[in-house]
Amino acid sequence: MRVNVIGFDWRGKVAFQSHAHTDHFASGKIVHATKPTIFLSHLRNSTLYSQVKYGKKFYIEDYKAKLYPSGHMLGSAGIKIWLDEGTLYYTGDVKLEKLRTAERAKIPKADFLIIEATFGVPMYSFPEPRKVEKEIIFYVEEQLDRGEKPVIRANPYGKAQEIIAILNAHGYTPKVDREILKVSMVYSKFGIKLRASSEGEVIVSSSKGILVSGFGKIKLSNHADFWELVKIVEKVKPEKVFTVFGHAQSFAKILNGLGYESMSIKRGEEIGRWI
Ligand SMILES: [Zn+2]
């Protein structure tokens, strides 16, 4: 998305990158991001970043701005910008319920909201993360009882680290692949200590095994489900909502029905004319 030369997880004269997943990589003369996002992104790109801290006022182009943790993964952030037309909050990928390896999300109030809608229809209703943890441990113990190796598949950027933290908390030190290890080292650098080894009886893999994802068999997601998304909109109290990613169109329709003026937008779309 773009608003008045600012790119949101997109290219712009100046840009903001909400987190370190490749589909959110931004580009521009200056790309603002948190320090963990910069470290994690540099595992896969060589963008020139400008470091910003959560909660600290800075300027993007000529506009005052502030970052808020978005709860999606280490370093993930949403941004609030004080535009001439009013305040705008862009969530990036967001998770309201607390995960072990991500800072708890903080949601500010704003006049305009751009919200991700990956799981923006009511069929996506996930159990609480702590309940899903039990499912993961149940799967692990069941496999071990049968004499088989539990293999858990997860996105190597964020989700795998969450799984490692869960396994660690239950006394397991999993074996992980190189990509997961590389990312886990960045997590450790920022104080999230994760134990992994080359000999673990449980495997966390980026390519095989039972999938842990909002789309997978075990539904531990680092995205808000439909109900969390609605809660976020209620917290922001916006005059107008722009939905993006995933079920953007359906979610905009649902929000209109709930009394929020809403429209879906595409990645990279300039929305300045609508605010
Ligand atoms: Zn993401």
Q: Is pLDDT above 90 for 4? A: no
Q: Is pLDDT above 90 for 2? A: no
* Mean pLDDT across 235-260: 98
pLDDT digits (tens, 9 = 90+) for 57-71: 999 999 999 999 999
- What pLDDT, on a 0 to 100 scale, did the predictor assign at position 200? 86
pLDDT digits (tens, 9 = 90+) for 82-115: 999 999 999 999 999 999 999 999 999 999 999 9
Calculate how far, in angstroms, residue 144's C-alpha sits from the geometric centre of ligand 1.
Answer: 32
Calculate how far, in angstroms, residue 200's C-alpha sits from the geometric centre of ligand 1.
Answer: 28
Calculate how far, in angstroms, residue 239's C-alpha sits from the geometric centre of ligand 1.
Answer: 26
Rounded to 10 degrees, the C-alpha dihedral 47/62/23/176 comes to 60
Calculate how far, in angstroms, residue 220's C-alpha sits from the geometric centre of ligand 1.
Answer: 14
Rounded CA separation 243/18 (Å): 16
Calculate how far, in angstroms, residue 131's C-alpha sits from the geometric centre of ligand 1.
Answer: 22
| Residue-averaged pLDDT of the chain | 96
Which residues neighbour 107 within 8 Å (Cβ) at sequence distance 6 or greater? 68, 78, 89, 91, 96, 232, 235, 236
* Mean pLDDT across 198-218: 93
Q: Is pLDDT above 90 for 35? A: yes
Calculate how far, in angstroms, residue 146's C-alpha sits from the geometric centre of ligand 1.
Answer: 35
DSSP secondary-structure letter at 27?
Answer: B
The hierarchical CATH code for the domain 2-123+222-274 is 3.60.15.10
Calculate how far, in angstroms, residue 19's C-alpha sits from the geometric centre of ligand 1.
Answer: 7
Q: Which helix (H) or strand (E) holds 257?
A: helix 248-257
Q: Is pLDDT above 90 for 257? A: yes
* Mean pLDDT across 248-268: 96
pLDDT grade for 273, boundaries at 50, 70 and 90: confident
Rounded CA separation 48/29 (Å): 8
Structure pTM? 0.96
- Say how many CA atoms lie within 13 Å of 102 toward its Cβ: 32
Where are the domains positioned within the chain?
Answer: 2-123+222-274, 129-211
Q: Which residue has the tokens 């071990």?
A: 144
Q: Is pLDDT above 90 for 1? A: no
CA angle 112, 270, 256 (to 5 degrees): 45
* pLDDT more than 90, % of the chain: 93
Calculate how far, in angstroms, residue 44's C-alpha sits from the geometric centre of ligand 1.
Answer: 15
Calculate how far, in angstroms, residue 93's C-alpha sits from the geometric centre of ligand 1.
Answer: 5
- What pLDDT, on a 0 to 100 scale, did the predictor assign at position 199? 84
**Tokens describing residue 41:** 């992104």
